[in-house]
Amino acid sequence: MTEADRAKVKRLMKRCQIGVGGRNAVDNAHYIMAECYGTLGKLMAEVERLQGVLDSRPAINAGLEEAYTNWSRLVYSADMAQAVSAAPKVKN
């Protein structure tokens, strides 16, 4: 979720908190509900995506912190090695 998305959600939360009134109260309430529905759908999709990430890492799910830590070190070491090899060579 981007910063813009977070700001949009916060604005929507504020609108829900304040509520609606006045001449077009029913229409305004309908629009807020429709926006809430869409926002909740996007948030649910993000939850499902993150759950998929967790589910793809059995060490986390099994509570095997050591195995996950070792796996992470290997991944980060490989990333670092790739970054170093791709970096421009500096002449002394």
pLDDT digits (tens, 9 = 90+) for 24-63: 888 888 888 888 888 888 888 998 898 888 778 766 666 6
Token digits of residue 54: 């967790």
Question: In this structure, are 9 and 41 located in the same domain?
Answer: yes
| Residue 38 sits in the same domain as residue 9 | yes
In this structure, are 24 and 41 located in the same domain? yes
At position 74, the amino acid (one-letter code) is: L
Say how many CA atoms lie within 13 Å of 86 toward its Cβ: 6
pLDDT for residue 57 = 75
Query: For residue 11, which of 25, 30, 32 has the smallest C-alpha distance?
Result: 32
Q: Based on the domain organization, do 18 and 43 belong to the same domain?
A: yes
* pTM more than 0.85: no
Return the structure tokens found at 2: 């981007």
Mean pLDDT value across residues 11-17: 82
Same domain, yes or no: 72 and 28: no
Q: Which residues contact 5 (CB under 8 A, 6 or more apart)?
A: 42
Q: Percent of the chain beyond pLDDT 70? A: 89
Residue 92 has pLDDT above 80, yes or no: no
CB-based contact 46:54 (threshold 8 Å): no
pLDDT of residue 60: 62
Shared domain check, 44 and 68: no
Count of structural domains within the chain: 2
Domain ranges, residue 34: 3-56
52 lies in the same domain as 74: no
Q: Do 42 and 75 sit in the same domain of this protein?
A: no
